[in-house]
Structures are given as C-alpha cells and as structure tokens.
Amino acid sequence: MTTDDNMNLAIRNILGLCKTINKYSHRLTLEDLMQDPRSSEIPDLGLETVERVREEVSARIARGCQPYENKVIMHTGPHHDDIMLGIMPLINRQLRPVSNEVYFSIMTSGFHSVTDGFMEEALRDTLSLLDAGKIEMVKYPDFFKGGFLLKRDKDVHHYLDNVAKKDSAGMRRGFCHRLVRDMVSIWSIDGESMLRETLCSMLDLLSIEKHEESEQLNQLKGLVREFEEELVWAYMGVPVRNVRHLHLGLYGRDDDEFAPDIRTDVLPVLEQFRQIRPEVISVVMDAGDIRPDTHFKVLLSVASALKLWNEETDLSQVRILAYRNVWSTFHPSEANMYVPVSLNAFAVIEKAFASSYMTQYKAEFPNPSFDGPFSELAESIWVKQLRDIQFLLGKDFFYQNKSALIRATHGMLFLNDYSVEEFLNIIKERYSLKKGN
C-alpha cells in the first residue's frame, strides 16, 4: 500500500474505534488501540498514529479553506439541483471574489422529475393571469416575433424581487412569464389567441389520467427545471448566460453496458471546455454506479470529454473537484478535502431551495431514506460529517480556533481534489473508460 493508502486506512479505523467506544481521538489510550480488532490492519500502530491522523485531518480542512481567486470555475451536474445539494457552501465562497468567473453546466433536461400535476397547476395559473391581462408582455407588437427571447434575466430578477418581498403571488406571476416565453418558443406561437389555445390544449391533455406522451410538454418541463437552476445561482448574482443546459443524449437512454456517445454525450461537454477554458471543474463521483445511474453516465461523459481536451491542451494546472450529494457520501478516509459549512450557508440553501426548486420541494423521486426536502437531507449529511471530524479533532478544535471560518463551522463537506491525470487514471481503473472516448 502507498503512504496515502496507509493514512486513509488509519483514518477509517481510528474513526471507527472512536465511534464504537464513544471517545474522542485525543483521549484514546494504547490499550484502546490494541484491543480494537481493526488495529492490526494499521502499520506501525501507536499513539503517534493517532497524532498523525489528527494532523492529516487538519491539513484536509486547511485545503478546504483555501480561497479561490482569479479562477475560471466550471461546475457540472447531472440534474438540476445536484450541484447545489453537493457543494453550494463552497460555491458561495467562490462567487464572492469579483476576480472569479463561475459557470454551471447541467447535463440533462430533468423533465422526468416534473409531475403532470405541477404542470397542470402552472398552466392554469398562466391562463388565469393571461385572462386577467396580467401578462402584459404579450401585448408588445414584437413579442411573438422575437421579443419573447429577450429579458430572460429580467424574469429571474422579477421572481427574486418577489422572494425578497415574500410576495408568493408575485413569484408565481414571474414564473408564469417565463412559462409563456418558453411556450412561444416550443410551439412557435404567433399571437395571443394561439397562446390561449395551446394552454387549453395542454390542460385538456393533462386532464387525462393516462395521456399520450407529448415531446413538447416534456420540453416545457425541462425548461421549467432550467428556470429553477437559473434562480438558484442568481441568488448570488450569477447571470443567466453563465448557467448552461447541455441536454446530453444519454438522458433516458437504457444501456446495459453504457459507453458515452461521442456526438451526443461527449462533444457538447468538450465544446464547453473549449469555450470556458475552466481552471477548476467539479463533477459528481458517486460510489460505484449507484442509482440514479444518470450520475454514472454523466461522470463517464465528462471524463471522456476531459480526456479529449487533455490531448489538445495543457491541463497540468487544472483541478478536478469530485463531489457527492444526497445519493451517496464519502467516508472521511475517501476524501482529501474537507470544507467547513456555516449556519449562514445552511440558511442560504434552505431559502434558495424552497424558493427556487418549485418542482422539487416535494420531489417526484424522493430519497428512500429521508422524507422531506432534499436541502434538509443535504444539511443532515453535512452535520453527520462534521460529527465524524469532531471525533478525530475534538470539538474545541472548532470553537477555540483562531480562524473565524473554522469557529463558524457547524457542518462539513467532503470532496476530492485531483489533478486531471489523477482523475482520468481513477476513471480508467474503476470504470474501464473505453479507448477513444
């Protein structure tokens, strides 16, 4: 085993001992270590081993506290909300320096997670507002000729203004404005009369319990999810143009032995790399090929695009941040970077999730281990992860720390920070990334 392997083994087994006997690491005795059946696996075991573990855990926290400045950062997510639920507290800090340019690339449309019931209610609200003359933009002479493509940032700003005012009716009106723009685009609507007809037609379809599949309705559902993602990052001032929606062909494709399709799954990601030229890239790396399998497909697609980009560009300075969220988690021994999470970050994700992810507050596909909003599940994971680190470092490490960032810590994110070469080697070893992809 390598030195890193030995250290990770020591972290795993000493944490396991601490939790088993409910004792912080600095209180462990040599007798505790010798009596634990896992201890024989740790080379050169002694109290010095515990101290080395404490030093390594502190170093991983220090890595997670390092600021990002003058960086181009690209966060990737399989679905809308994956990035937020995985690493939003880290992103909040990345967005503060004006020298950073931060982008978000969502790989699939996510229409499967928008229920017919949600759409029926949204379309009824839109029709009511249209009948009441409260969607004034349809009266503009150029709206149906091209004006509907403009002011998408304004939709977001209008919605969030009403979040600030706690005006739920105003929020709904802002959402319906975006819905109208998207409907005009999908159905090539040429006037107010056709808009009303289309709304009624879709409502008739949705009133049928088992209706035929509608490609256009699915497109609209996907665009609803896109609006939600734009709202979340607009909380921190990210413009709509920095939130990219790639619609990879892998979504919904059932392959027994998945291999990314170069044209539909890889080249769109590669083109984003070429355009944005990120210096930091985040990607979901779940445990094995755990469900939902879209995460696994996206991981291989991003890795394939990165492999191709690496062949045409020097990526020796690019860093890959591998994260997990509510579907699987890292053990502290599996992560090399621990990011402190403050109560302020908890408040932000709670408010942003509840206000932005209208379709997910009661999710169509909830996590089987938790009954509630995904944001609360993410927070509970961060709290548990901090508890593990407290076993190793002690609570006083946090509340007596000279760093305000550490003193404010009430949760912990676990990630892996890799070089491109390290990341691609891991993908090749674990998942047999096919040659040429």
Please give the Cα distance from 177 to 436 (Å, whole number). Answer: 44
Q: Which residues of the chain have pLDDT under 70?
A: 1, 252, 255-256, 288-292, 361-371, 432-437
Burial class (CB in 10 A: 0-12, 13-18, 19+), 103: buried
Pick from 391, 278, 407: nearest CA to 340: 407
> For residue 334, what are the domain limits?
71-108+246-431
Same domain, 81 and 197: no
Residue 387 resides in a domain? yes
Pick from 420, 322, 416, 348: nearest CA to 77: 322
pLDDT at 361: 66
Give residues with Cβ within 8 angstroms of 397, minimum separation 6: 58, 390, 406
Same domain, 402 and 301: yes
Residue 35 resides in a domain? yes
> For the packed helices 192-206 and 116-131, what is the interaxial angle rounded to 10 degrees?
150
Residue 241 resides in a domain? no
Q: How far is CA 391 from CA 9, 80, 151, 381, in A?
A: 16, 34, 51, 16
Please give the Cα distance from 14 to 331 (Å, whole number). Answer: 13
For the chain, the C-alpha Rg in angstroms (whole number) is 24
Pick from 243, 213, 254: nearest CA to 111: 213
- What six digits make up the tokens of 320? 């890959």
Q: 349-380 burial string, b = 16+ CB within 10 Å, else e?
A: beebbebbbbbbeebeeeeeeeeebbbbbbbe
Pick from 431, 69, 386: nearest CA to 283: 431
pLDDT at 244: 96
Residue with tokens 């159905």: 187
Please give the Cα distance from 39 to 33 (Å, whole number). Answer: 6
Same domain, 262 and 200: no
Pick from 289, 112, 290, 122: nearest CA to 199: 122
Same domain, 32 and 163: no
Same domain, 103 and 33: no
Q: How far is CA 327 from CA 74, 113, 255, 365, 386, in A?
A: 22, 15, 21, 11, 18
Specify the amino acid at residue 77. Answer: G
pLDDT at 291: 55
Q: What is the pTM of this model?
A: 0.92
Strands (E), 41-143: 72-77, 101-106
Tell me how many degrees the CA angle 103-109-114 measures, rounded to the nearest 5. 120
- Percentage of the chain exceeding pLDDT 90: 80
- Out of 201, 219, 237, a domain closes at 219
Please give the Cα distance from 84 to 63 (Å, whole number). Answer: 21
Residues 385/86, Cβ–Cβ less than 8 Å: no
Residue 225 resides in a domain? no
Pick from 167, 103, 182, 218: nearest CA to 355: 167
Residue 27 resides in a domain? yes
pLDDT at 292: 56
Residue 240 resides in a domain? no
Specify the amino acid at residue 296. Answer: F
Positive or negative: CA dihedral 50, 52, 53, 58: positive
Residue 239 resides in a domain? no
Pick from 42, 59, 50, 52: nearest CA to 25: 50
pLDDT at 374: 87
Tell me how many degrees the CA angle 300-306-307 measures, rounded to the nearest 5. 90
Same domain, 89 and 186: no
The secondary structure of 318-337 as a DSSP string is: -EEEEE--SS----GGG-SE
Same domain, 190 and 257: no
Q: How many distinct structural domains can be found in the chain?
A: 3
Same domain, 54 and 86: no
Please give the Cα distance from 282 to 75 (Å, whole number). Answer: 5
Give residue 166's region: left, alpha or beta (phi > 0; psi -120 to 50): left
Same domain, 177 and 302: no
Residue 437 resides in a domain? no
Same domain, 397 and 273: yes
Same domain, 103 and 136: no
- Out of 176, 201, 219, a domain closes at 219
Q: Look up the CATH number of the domain holding residue 346.
A: 3.40.50.10320
Same domain, 201 and 299: no
DSSP state at residue 27? G
Residues 414/87, Cβ–Cβ less than 8 Å: no
- What six digits make up the tokens of 73? 């950062």
